[in-house]
Amino acid sequence: MLFIGILVEVMRFNIPLQIRNNYYKIQKVFLFLIATILIVWMFPNKASFKFEFQKGKPWMHETLIAPYDFPVYKSNEQLIDEQESLRDNFKLTFVMDESAFDIKAEDFISNFEQKWSVDKNVSKDTRFTFFNLNKKKNLKTKKEKLANYGLKILEELYTVGIIQMIDDIESKDSDYEIVVMKGNVGQIVSLSNLYTIESASKKAYDLKNISQEESNFLSPLILEMLKQNVFYDESTTAKMLDSELKAISKGLGMVQRGEVIISKGELVTESNYQELESYRQRYEGESWQDSSENWLRLGQSLLILIAFMILFLFLKQFRIEVFNDNRKITFIISLIVLMVLMSSFSLIIGNKLIFLMPFCLLPIIMKAFFDTRLALFTHLIAIIIIGFIVPNSFEFIYLQLMAGIVSILSVLQMYKRAQLFLSAAKIIGIYFIAYFAMALTQEGSINNINWMNFVLFAGNGALTLFAYPLIFAFEKIFSLVSDVSLLELSDTNSPLLRELAQKAPGTFQHSIQVANIAEAGILEIKGNALLVRAGALYHDIGKMKNPQFFIENQISGINPHDDLSFEESADVIIKHVKNGIALAKENNLPDELIDFIRTHHGTTMVGYFYKQYVSSFPDEHESAEKFTYPGPKPFSKETAVLMMADSVEAAARSIKSPSLEDIDNLVEKIINNQIDNNQFVNADITMKSITQIKKLFKKKLQSIHHVRLEY
């Protein structure tokens, strides 16, 4: 961005004409070369596979024979399916705490002893501990027998294991298997063979072969000792799963050197498609020598230069006003480079992400500043360049071309925000339909379509909504003007137009009428109506400096020209152009509007004062240049239409109660006079368009002046 900013500033330097022309030519070449170098730098430094192929379509090339041995790799879909199958069937790892029983046994004996000594419902006996209890081979007393029975129950529960239930196994069937680690040994166990806290509690209450009195004494003691001793080991599970995932074989087999991969005309099936893909990976993965890489870079450079040369010739032949403005060329090239950069970055992350990239931003942004044809042509050049680096380039170019055309046709007026949302929806729709159709022709079945790509297309369409902030940013960086800005500038409540209405109310009303007439005229010949309207509103702002010298502002009937010579009067009139340019620059109006101020009189003469001068000084014709506007002449159909509208509107005001014939004659006379004086030779406007404009201007003026037939 810094480089672009420097270029834009350099282009504003005031350089002598001859040097400036040569400098601009050199700069154009420099811009294209820099763009080519940047794009080549972003291109991959390995050869691209020279064969295009699609699943379900015939092999259109010569019979392909393996030049060397190479492995046949599984497709991403196959690998993903195997990984998902492994994850679904993978057994979670749990760890058993084998020390839990020893700890709980001691606690049990302690609690048992304490409860036995205070419970009046049981007979008393000598005190004992867990250790000496275990040593006794003959359990004689009731107390010892009951304590040992309780320990056996606890030992069974903790030996089998009381599992900690987690979300992953809550919904599983009882025959679901897990791995239980006891020390360093793992054992596969089904959930039905383990206790939970609930099932262990049930066993504690359901004691066999003892009396109800003894059960009531023993069950609470056992319940107090219950806790989970089989715990989920997330770390070990993750490591084992990762190890098994890495162990999945990526290969399906080998293709031997000299083996036929596919014959000419043979249908590309799933099997040989994988062989072709594997061959492509091996081919593109080969290491290149420096000399080979140099030839590769040369080829890439030539391909990009050809694409830029076509763009260069298109601008020179059909958009000369853009071609002559290096600022606009820099903007167009920058957009293309940014699109290539975005594509290269997405391909580094993953090939599928290319479907997420909002390539339709380019034509939408171009449409905001230029016309439809240039937007489409630039989009075409960009996707052709990107097509060299993306997989399945035909599919990519087809999808992006269709989406680009839809985006241009759907965004007719950028200043209407709803249109951008509708355009995004249409872009998503065309992506869905086009990709679905291509997938059906390639796969031959709806079951094999990758539906995840539709999510990426939806994200792609949503990202086009960033067009508005990007347009604003590019306006500031490159000093361009979009339809949105033109609409804002056309607001008559803007400070400059309010000042015009206050200081020169007659001029303000004249400007509004000219804007209405010129807008209707340019719409008739398919021009930029917003640009013409904004230009018309500001074209006479220079009259604010001396408003009383212009007849539309002379309310009191006093004419200050009576006190000036003819030359001085002409100078005041002519200077309103220069004053308008200065005022426009002070108020940061874009150059596109300043062009209307410069050209709305072209190189015509201040006719009234010149005729007065010639009548008074018939022998001094060499002073005609004092009465001539400096120009330049209109150089676009928009500036030409404004010149016509300004002249006929001002002249029509001077006719009192004009008839239909008066209006017709006035329009014909003024516009024909401008044609005879070669005022439109630099504008891209045809005689047919001028005839259409004349006809429309007559209707407009008749409506404004309420001209009607007498009956």
- Residues 415-430: pLDDT tens digits? 677 788 899 999 999 9
Query: Which of 442, 443, 433, 464 minimizes the C-alpha distance to 356?
Result: 464
> If we measure between CA atoms, which residue out of 352, 332, 334 comes closest to residue 343?
352
Cβ contacts of 533 within 8 Å, gap of 6 or more: 486, 490, 515, 518, 519
N- to C-terminal Cα separation, the chain: 69
- Structure-model confidence comparison of residues 379 and 280, the more confident one: 379
CB count within 10 Å of CB 304 equals: 24
Residue 6: pLDDT above 50? no
| Residue 474 pLDDT greater than 90, yes or no | yes
* 3-state DSSP assignment of residue 65: strand
pLDDT of residue 18: 52
Cα-to-chain-centroid distance, residue 135: 80
The rounded distance, in Å, linking the Cα atoms of 420 and 605 is: 46
494: Cβ contacts below 8 Å, ≥ 6 apart: 488
Can you spell out the DSSP letters for 205-231? Answer: HS--SS-HHHHHHHHHHHHHT----EE
Judge whether residue 135 has pLDDT over 80.
Answer: no
The average pLDDT across 6-19 equals 48
Name the token pair of 506.
């007659």
Residue 261 sits at φ, ψ, to 5 deg, of: -80, -50
Mean pLDDT of 379-403: 91
In angstroms, rounded to a whole number, what is the distance separating the alpha carbons of residues 698 and 664? 6
Q: How far apart are CA 188 and CA 94, in angstroms?
A: 10
Predicted confidence (pLDDT) at residue 663 exceeds the cutoff of 70:
yes
* H-only helix segments in 228-319: 234-246, 270-284, 290-318
Residue 468 confidence (pLDDT): 87
Q: What's the confidence (pLDDT) of residue 251? A: 80
Alpha-helix residue ranges (DSSP H) falling in 525-636: 529-538, 566-586, 591-599, 607-616
Cα–Cα distance, 481 to 491 (Å, whole number)? 15
Q: How many CB atoms are closer than 10 A to CB 152?
A: 10
Q: Does 115 score more than 70 pLDDT?
A: yes
Q: Is the pLDDT of residue 120 over 50?
A: no
Most confident of the following: 77-81, 283-287, 493-497: 493-497
d(CA 564, CA 578): 20
pLDDT at 612 over 90: no
pLDDT on residue 360: 95
Q: Is 372 exposed, middle or buried (0-12, 13-18, 19+ CB in 10 A)?
A: middle
What SS3 class is residue 171?
coil
Structure confidence at residue 497 (pLDDT): 95
Angle at which helix 467-478 crosses helix 417-443, to 10 degrees, equals 110
Measured CA to CA, the distance from residue 101 to residue 229 in angstroms comes to: 9
Q: Looking at residue 621, what is its pLDDT? A: 62
Q: How far apart are CA 394 and CA 131, in angstroms?
A: 82
Choose the weakest-confidence range: 40-54, 218-232, 561-575. 40-54
Higher-scoring residue by pLDDT: 269, 512: 512
Query: What is the separation of C-alpha 457 from the centre of its chain, rounded to a whole number of angstroms?
Result: 11
Dihedral sign, CA of 517, 663, 556, 597?
A: positive
Q: Give the separation between CA 549 and CA 570, rounded to whole angstroms.
A: 10
Average pLDDT, the chain: 85
| pLDDT value of position 256 | 84
What's the helix, strand, coil split of the chain in %, to 5? 65, 5, 30
User: HSE (CB half, 13 Å, CA atoms) of 599?
Assistant: 29
CB burial of 33-46 (b: ≥16 within 10 Å; e: otherwise) equals eebbebbbebbeee
Beta carbons of 47 and 297 less than 8 angstroms apart? no
Task: Please tell me the pTM assigned to this model.
Answer: 0.64
Cβ atoms of 4 and 477 closer than 8 Å: yes
Under the banding of pLDDT at 50, 70 and 90, the label for residue 359 is very high
Asked if residue 134 has pLDDT above 80, the reply is no
249: left (phi over 0), alpha (psi -120 to 50) or beta: beta
* Three-class SS state of 334: helix
Max CA distance (Å), the chain? 154
Is the CB of residue 432 less than 8 Å from the CB of residue 457? Answer: yes
| DSSP run (H or E) holding 193 | none
DSSP state of 357: S
Say what percent of the chain tops pLDDT 70: 89
Mean pLDDT along residues 35-42 = 90
Q: What percent of the chain has pLDDT over 90?
A: 38
Tell me, what's the pLDDT at 121?
Answer: 52
The letter for the amino acid at 447 is N
- In DSSP terms, 177 is beta-bridged to 190
Question: Residue 116 above 50 pLDDT?
Answer: yes
Arithmetic mean of pLDDT, 690-700: 94
Average pLDDT over residues 167-184: 86
Asked if 386 contacts 373 with a C-beta cutoff of 8 angstroms, the reply is no
| pLDDT tens, position by position, 476-495 | 899 888 888 898 899 999 99
pLDDT reading at 138 higher than 50: no
Instruction: Report the pLDDT value the prediction gives residue 710, as an integer from 0 to 100.
Output: 47
Give the per-residue pLDDT at 438: 87
Q: Please name each of the domains of the chain with its CATH number.
A: 2-47+289-478 (no CATH), 89-242 (no CATH), 483-704 (1.10.3210.10)
pLDDT for the residue 585 = 94
Pairing of strands 251-255, 230-232: unpaired
Instruction: Give the SS3 label for residue 14.
Output: coil
Contacts made by residues 615-624, CB under 8 angstroms, sequence distance 24+? 616/566, 623/567
Tell me the backbone φ, ψ of residue 252, rounded to 5 degrees. Answer: -105, -20
Better pLDDT: 98 or 130: 98
Distance CA 254, CA 244 (A): 23
Give me 456's structure tokens: 């990426």
CA distance 275 to 261: 7
Residue 376 clears pLDDT 60, i.e. is over it: yes
Beta-carbon contacts of 481 under 8 Å, excluding residues fewer than 6 positions away, are 369, 475, 489, 531, 590, 592, 593
> What pLDDT does 419 receive?
82
The pLDDT value given to residue 286? 64
Higher pLDDT, 122 or 252: 252
- Lowest pLDDT segment from 280-284, 453-457, 509-513: 280-284
- Span 218-247, average pLDDT: 88
